[in-house]
Structure 1
Amino acid sequence: MKPPPERHGPRWDAYLAHGNATQARKRVVADALLRDHDGRVLLVDPTYKSGWDLPGGMAETNEPPVDAVRRELAEELGLMITVGSLLCVDWVSPHGPWDDLVAFVFDAGTLPPSVCATLRPRDAELARCGFFPRDRALDLLTERQRRRTAQALAALDEGRPRYLQDGLPSW
């Protein structure tokens, strides 16, 4: 097997194109766990699917997950915040018309009351947003998102990230 070419130019581009054409590609989701000063969880109500969700969304091509969640928070809610530690990584099996994906949930901390009071959707992808007590927030989420969010909350409480498969610990 020949070594890969130098990391620039047409030979490098052809090398990458060959790899991309022959290896699996994964979709990546990056979400944020945000709270208010009372510990309530921020949820968003997307216009393009049913049910509430954590704020965040799909990563773009070659975009790191942490950058994706920052971008989504800025675009959809006007939030420019520092994203904290990783709470969980969830491998999600194929569902509906989609192949599998990898979902990341990051701790995005607690928003100050002044920000919470004025928080609103800034993008047509969201109908509304709101803070909910943990139990109520979990009730509003779809089953798949509920399992992942419950695990992210447990990781936040324990201070230890979790690896999940379909929202459940894999070991």
Structure 2
Amino acid sequence: MIVWLNGTFGAGKTTAAHEVLDLLPGSTLYDPELLGTGLRSMLPPKRLEEVDDYQDLPSWRRMVVDTAAALLTEVPGPLVTPMTLLRQEYRDEIFGALAARRIPVRHVLLDAEETILRSRIAHREETPGDPEGNAAVRRWCLEHLGPYAQALDWLKSDAHVVDTTALTPRQTAERVAEAVRTGAGACDIVQTPEPTAETLAAGVLLFDDQDRVLLVDPTYKPGWEFPGGIVEPGEAPARAGVREVAEELGIQLGCTPRLLVLDWEAPKPPGYGGLRLLFDGGTLTADRIRELLLPGAELRAWRFVTESEAESMLPPVRWNRLRWALRARERGCPLHLEAGVPLG
């Protein structure tokens, strides 16, 4: 298990984490910031200049999961992880990958009033003899109060909240330990096993009466997606698409969807690639749209969007696949792609 202590700078994550170690038998401190420090020393300066924060590095997010899994083979757990995580898509990626490895997460948000946070940042422990460095750290911490405030809505809906405004580090740790014992902060996230070979996946495009396409927001991976999923062994791809639409949205498609795109996705470590199919599920009436249901452990939201809106919401590979699927729908003829490029 991982006890993920989230919150902005000044919330008391690190001091509380050390106290939690005394209250949860077998627990070990796991600080992903050390992975970021290592990457800063190993990656070329040119690569580091391309990101604002080490959390923006896909390698850091993969290492957080891989290192946690490795540590849990060495220690009984849980791992106590004091780490600020404000971007919801990064939470999806990391927690989803942990769930795929059957590693449960207790997500606890340590929160405090802004005046308290500012006071704690102003009086944080400083490095002797480095006034410029200390001032830079304080500025950096204060600059993150705004992004933290913007992230509070999703954080408070996702995590168990402990208000540290009037608590000592020990009292905070006791609240965290009690939350862990009672199962509070458990992330109800789908456990999708990581692929070990190429996969076959089927997605279904559904439209409204304005010809906008339906996208869904998975809890277990970053970015928006089409309804659909992995085709099970021995299952017909079109039937898999129909099954996934029923499971994810509660919609029963009345007929077999028509193929729009078959795309071969090249392997890109750690992914294995494989075949990706997109089908045309047709237009949903207003009544059927009102019947849409979402499984909370798998999808958090759905939206009908225009093609231009989809471009800003989908990862590039999925956006390109959608773009060609819409062209195939207009022409009434399916397209065969390899790595996103039409053949012929």
| TM-score interval (norm. to shorter) | 0.7 to 0.9
Q: Percent identity?
A: 39
The equivalences for 1:72-87 within 5 A come to: 72-81=244-253, 82-87=255-260
- Structure 1 residues 123, 56: CA separation in 2 closer, same or farther (over 3 Å shift)? farther
Q: How does 1:127-166 map to 2 (within 5 A)?
A: 127-166=300-339
Q: Distance in 1 between matches of 2:307 and 2:256?
A: 20
Rg larger for: 2
Matched, 1:110 2:288: no
Q: CA–CA distance in 2 between the matches of 1:88 and 1:30?
A: 10
Say if 1:78 and 1:123 are closer, same or farther in 2 by CA, change over 3 A. Answer: farther
Between 56-65 and 146-155, report the one with greater CA deviation. Answer: 56-65
Q: Which runs of 4+ in 1 moved over 3 A?
A: none
Unaligned stretches of 5+ residues in structure 2: 1-196
TM-score, normalization by structure 1: 0.81
Report SS of the residue matched to 1:138: helix
C-alpha displacement of 1:138: 2.6
Letter in 1 for 2:301: R
**Is the aligned partner of 1:92 residue 2:265?**
yes
Q: Contact conserved, 1:107 with 1:156, CA < 8 A, in 2?
A: yes
Higher relative contact order (CA 8 A, sep 6+): 1
Deviation (angstroms), 1:39: 0.7
How big is the shift at 1:123?
5.0
Q: Which residue of 2 aligns with 1:20?
A: none
User: What CA distance in whole angstroms lies between the structure 1 residues aligned with 2:273 and 2:222?
Assistant: 20
1:51 aligns with 2:257: no
Residue segments in structure 1 that go unaligned for 5+ positions in a row: 1-24
Give 1:83 shift. Answer: 3.4
The one-letter amino acid of 1:160's match is C
Letter paired with 1:84:
P
Cα distance in 2 for residues equivalent to 1:27 and 1:42: 23
Do the aligned residues in 1 keep the contact of 2:250 with 2:291 (CA within 8 Å)? no
> Can you list the C-alpha shifts for 1:140-170, whole angstroms capped at 9, x where unaligned?
1100000000000000001110000122212
Q: CA deviation at 1:117?
A: 2.6
Whether the 8 Å contact between 1:120 and 1:128 is mirrored in structure 2 is no
1:121 equivalent in alignment to 2:294:
yes
Q: 1:56-94, CA deviations, whole angstroms, 9 ceiling, x for partnerless residues?
A: 011111211111111111111101002321101000000
C-alpha contact 1:42 1:131 (8 A) present in aligned 2: yes
Instruction: From the two aligned structures, give the one with the greater helix fraction.
Output: 2
Q: Secondary structure at the match of 1:33?
A: strand
Q: Does 1:64 align with 2:236?
A: yes
Give 1:120 shift. 3.2
CA distance in 2, matches of 1:78, 1:28: 23
Larger proportion of strand: 1
Deviation track 1:86-126 (CA, whole Å, cap 9, x = no partner) reads 10100000023122310110000000011113323135211
Letter of the structure 2 residue corresponding to residue 169 of structure 1: P
Residue 323 of structure 2: SS of its match in structure 1? helix
